[in-house]
Amino acid sequence: MRQVLGLPILIAVTAMLLLAGSVVAEEDDVDTFGENVGKRLGNVSGILLVLTMSIVVWKPVLKYLRKKADKLAEDGKWLKKKLGKVNRWYMKIHYWIGFAAVVAGLIHGIAMNKWEILFWAGWVGMLLMSVTGGLLLWKWPPKKVRKGARLIHAQRALLVITVAFIFISHRGFN
């Protein structure tokens, strides 16, 4: 199991380092190497977060396609089976991209050296969604805990609040 988990983590960390470390700061763009890496990882984390949130579109589309499978294909059962395989593939990607977004966001925040609570509130929301998603994935806690984790993880309000905190803390009110 460790080997299976290690490869995606290694790929994610390598990609983040390549994306962040290969960029050279231009005049007055950034003060230090740490801030340069921090800014680039912030961009990476934002992109990964958007890709992770694509589930908001994917799940309703999947539900619709499954419902209409008999009308869309000659063999509706075959289409439903293929949609199930695509969904399992998509969910694996969703897990790892979400995890990578949280890690990149953490490194971004540390490198940027911003310690105000508003800057970290969005990251805590991302972490909460990631932890509750992990609880659902590994089915480790008792059923009652998983039920609560599902309610938190699938809560659109938490997603909106998290994105709002991230946006406000990065744009400010200027």
Residue 44: exposure state from Cβ atoms within 10 A (0-12, 13-18, ≥19): buried
Task: Tell me: do 126 and 61 sit in the same domain.
Answer: no
Global confidence as pTM: 0.74
108 and 124 fall within a common domain: no
What pLDDT is attached to residue 30? 47
Contact criterion met (CB below 8 Å) for 97 and 50: no
Rounded CA gap, 81 and 73, in Å?
A: 12
68 and 119 share one domain: no
Q: Are 158 and 129 in contact (CB under 8 A)?
A: yes
Give the H or E element holding residue 40: helix 33-53
127: nearest Cα among 140, 109, 145, 113: 109
pLDDT at 6 over 70: no
| Residue 9 maps to a domain | no
Sign, CA torsion 61/100/96/147: negative
**Segment 90-116, tens digit of pLDDT:** 999 999 999 999 999 999 988 888 788
59-75: pLDDT as tens digits? 999 999 999 888 888 88
39 & 100 share domain? yes
Owning domain of residue 127: 114-174
DSSP letter at 111 equals H
Q: Are residues 83 and 141 in the same domain?
A: no
As a whole number, the mean pLDDT across the chain is 81
Structure tokens at 155: 């809560």
The domain tally of the chain equals: 2
Q: What is the pLDDT of residue 93?
A: 93
98 and 158 part of one domain: no
pLDDT score recorded for residue 75: 86
Whether pLDDT at 22 is above 50:
no
84 is a domain residue: yes
